[in-house]
Structure 1
Amino acid sequence: MTTAAAPPIDLGKLWTLPGVYAPQADTYLLAQALQAEEITADTDVLDVCTGSGALAVLAARMGARVAATDISRRAVLTARMNAARAGQRVRVLHGDLTGPVARHRFDVVVSNPPYVPAPHARRSHRSAVAWDAGEGGRQAVDRICAHARHVLRPQGVLLMVHSGLCGIEESLTRLTATGLRCSVRERSHVPFGPVLTQRLPWLRARGLIGADEDTEELVVIRAERI
């Protein structure tokens, strides 16, 4: 098991509007995996569910040509502002997952999608769109698994982070079924955040978290088109 390295992103230079997902432990873990990839000036990177744009800005700093998408207009504005503040060129598009770039292919796709299991289909506040993902936590994850291959070039790589609560093996199985070669690249255990802490009784009642568990497992799945 590995733990997230020191943040490769200067949080002091990142800005987030209310309701936009700010960089957290999963962001850092995904950044660690991205930095292990071979990125050059000829690498095309797509950041799906970009949020603050932290991963998109990092990829641009590594020299890549970068596009990013988010369904939240606030996130799109935030990512554009953070790219400008960092002096990096990032094409940030408004839309659902890979929809805005459906006709394009990329060498690396990174994604930190919503993955928190939610007891209600209806979200109680706007910011919950950044993390709520249905009762199984897989609303966005399953769709990324289904469509990732179509936006990857041959030998292209998907790096996706999510919680162990929403099914690591399920993601590996779904990605493998589309013809991708998969593995878990990074693992980390972190204390429960405010959202999970608030939902602990429901999560424990559903058997997603044991009575004695006090940390959440995060993983980065690496899936390569072969």
Structure 2
Amino acid sequence: MTVDLWEGAMRQVTHLRSDLAAWTRESIAVDLGERALEALNRDVAVPASLAAERGSRIALLTRLFWLGETLDDDDLREALPTTIADGQPADLPFLEVATDGWRSRWQIVPVDVPDHLRPMIKESNPESTAAQTDTVWIASTRGALQGNRHASDFVMGVGGASRTLASLAAYQPGQRVLDLGTGSGIHAILAALAGARVTATDISQPALELAEFNADLNGAKIDLREGSLFEPVAGERFDVIVSNPPFVITPPSARGTVGALDYRDAGFEGDQLSSEVVRGLSDHLVAAGRAWMLLNWEIAQGADDPYSALRDWAQPGLDLHVIMREQLPVTSYIEMWLADGGLRPGHPDYEPSYRAWLTDFDDRGVTHVGLGYVSAGPTCQSPEDAGAPLFLGQHLRGTAPPNLHAYVESLWRQRNLTPADLTALAPIATDVVEHRFYHPGEPDPWIIKFTQTGGFGEEILATTALAGFVSVADGELTTGQIIAALAELLSEDPATLTSQLLPKVVEMKRLGMLTFVAPHCE
């Protein structure tokens, strides 16, 4: 269903958009300093609060909307000149009366539009504030920055994980997009501004209300529907599904003291919610559709494969690329989410919540939890192989690269190339440097390895033959031609060298260190 809470207030929201246009992450860094912005990113207020005492308009907007401080009438008029000129503060849906002035009803923050989406937004909505500033503004419930413990109606803002998901997902004009568990609406808004036709669902009425406000604030049109997971879109298919669902694994025994936090925990057992999302993709994606999502999954004690749960969830004909951001021990996982909900050591609910949570994991033999991103889509394998979906698991150590979308898409485009395909295609070494290690005085290296300069910084050990192969991987010769030339040069049997080299070439293709094209012709 569509929420109409903001009907009649569109003019004020449009004026607010105009007043916020100069308030971006870049302008905050310039006006208040990088230190203040970095502290705000960590939900720490003091450095920004001190820097904002200088009283500039950027400082006043930061105090009002990000820090949650009170502004008097004069400061409010300076911060929001267009908005206040058109009406009284008491009539504005995003302000509330506070002691000695006015404060924002929600936390509102500027969010950078990911680089790869900017061309689409400028093409589809060239007059939008997002196209002109490369920024959207997202309202959410005030939380840790203001020292608040999260309540049952809490609506999450845009954190680091959501920003990474935004840098991964992509949309084209005219596509049908589903934002599953939209929360504050960041992904739905980016998709709509890029020209897509967007449906967004959530089980939380407060989330839908804020998503509608945020859509209006950014000039985006979204079809909002209330309900759990795929229920509001039964029987419908989409070109793109994007989801940051309430995937936190919280046992029923801990919910009494942790609280009913719909924004992060939908009440499913274990990692069942993540399972339901992955298993439902095949029924809701078109033949060439794509899905991008954030998920948590359980890893059992002694498991050799940290991705085994996701392999089990993948339906026939659905390919998965899983990027594991972290593999946390359950104790670290519990402590992280207790702190996220405002529970810290010393609080009377902290110890019973921790005990119940850890006991549940121990009773079920779960020692770690995987946190990460999933890219998925229908397989393009031949019909006889369609029952065996392709699966790629990677562990992202450190921060995501700035070219995350381009890197993941390069792997996705070549996922179905077989070794036979590669022999007829020309390899190109992509963002790869070679390292050679020598013992003092020795003419030959004892270790040769290739390191990826982009992507996830993957490394692979190399033989002399593989080093020779990569040294001429410039798109001129096919894989088969290079191996034949190396066999002659090294006096090796071509078939034997092929059996030794081709698995390494396939692995470098899998990691994005080699890409393949039709050979260049003179």
TM-score category (smaller protein): 0.7 to 0.9
Contact 2:204 2:226 in 1 (8 A): yes
Residue type of the alignment partner of 1:171: L
| 1:107-150 superposed Cα distances (whole Å, 9 cap, x missing partner) | 11011112222132674376512222558532321221222111
Residue type of the alignment partner of 2:164: L
Contact 2:320 2:375 in 1 (8 A): yes
Q: 2:189 aligns with which of 57, 68, 88?
A: 57
Q: Distance in 1 between matches of 2:179 and 2:221?
A: 13
Whether 2:250 is the aligned partner of 1:112: answer: no
Q: What is the aligned length?
A: 211
Q: Distance in 2 between matches of 1:180 and 1:56?
A: 23
CA shift for structure 1 position 218: 2.9
> CA 1:60–1:29 in structure 2 vs 1: closer, same or farther (change >3 Å)?
same
Contact 1:42 1:65 in 2 (8 A): yes
Contact 1:48 1:98 in 2 (8 A): yes
Q: Distance in 1 between matches of 2:251 and 2:135?
A: 32
Q: 2:319 aligns with which of 181, 184, 196?
A: 181
CA shift for structure 1 position 29: 2.0
Normalising by the residue count of structure 2, what TM-score does the alignment of the two structures yield? 0.36
Q: What do you get for the CA RMSD once the two structures are aligned?
A: 3.2
Contact 2:271 2:296 in 1 (8 A): no
Normalising by the residue count of structure 1, what TM-score does the alignment of the two structures yield? 0.78
Partner secondary structure for residue 118 of structure 1: coil
Q: Distance in 2 between matches of 1:222 and 1:12?
A: 24
Q: Distance in 1 between matches of 2:298 and 2:163?
A: 19
Contact 1:121 1:134 in 2 (8 A): no
Partner secondary structure for residue 282 of structure 2: helix
> CA 1:150–1:76 in structure 2 vs 1: closer, same or farther (change >3 Å)?
same
Match of 2:374 in 1: 221
Partner secondary structure for residue 207 of structure 2: helix
Contact 2:274 2:297 in 1 (8 A): no
Structure 1 gaps of 5+ residues are 1-6, 211-215
Contact 2:112 2:135 in 1 (8 A): no
Structure 2 gaps of 5+ residues are 1-110, 114-133, 142-152, 300-305, 345-349, 380-522
Match of 2:273 in 1: 140
Match of 1:213 in 2: none
> CA 1:127–1:12 in structure 2 vs 1: closer, same or farther (change >3 Å)?
farther
Residue type of the alignment partner of 2:174: D
| 1:77-119 superposed Cα distances (whole Å, 9 cap, x missing partner) | 1111111111111111111111111122101101111222213
- Relative contact order (alpha carbons < 8 A, sep ≥ 6): 1 or 2 greater? 1
Q: 1:74 aligns with which of 206, 219, 222?
A: 206
Instruction: Show the 5 A alignment for 1:19-38.
Output: 19-34=154-169, 37=170
Is the helix fraction higher in 1 or 2?
Answer: 2
Q: 1:93 aligns with which of 225, 243, 253?
A: 225
Partner secondary structure for residue 15 of structure 1: strand
| 1:31-88 superposed Cα distances (whole Å, 9 cap, x missing partner) | 1211xx3x22121110001111111111122221111000111111111111111111
| 1:187-210 superposed Cα distances (whole Å, 9 cap, x missing partner) | 368983514876666555535557
Residue type of the alignment partner of 2:378: R
Partner secondary structure for residue 155 of structure 1: strand
Match of 2:140 in 1: 16
> CA 1:79–1:204 in structure 2 vs 1: closer, same or farther (change >3 Å)?
same
Match of 1:170 in 2: 309
Q: Distance in 1 between matches of 2:112 and 2:203?
A: 25
Structure having the higher Rg: 2
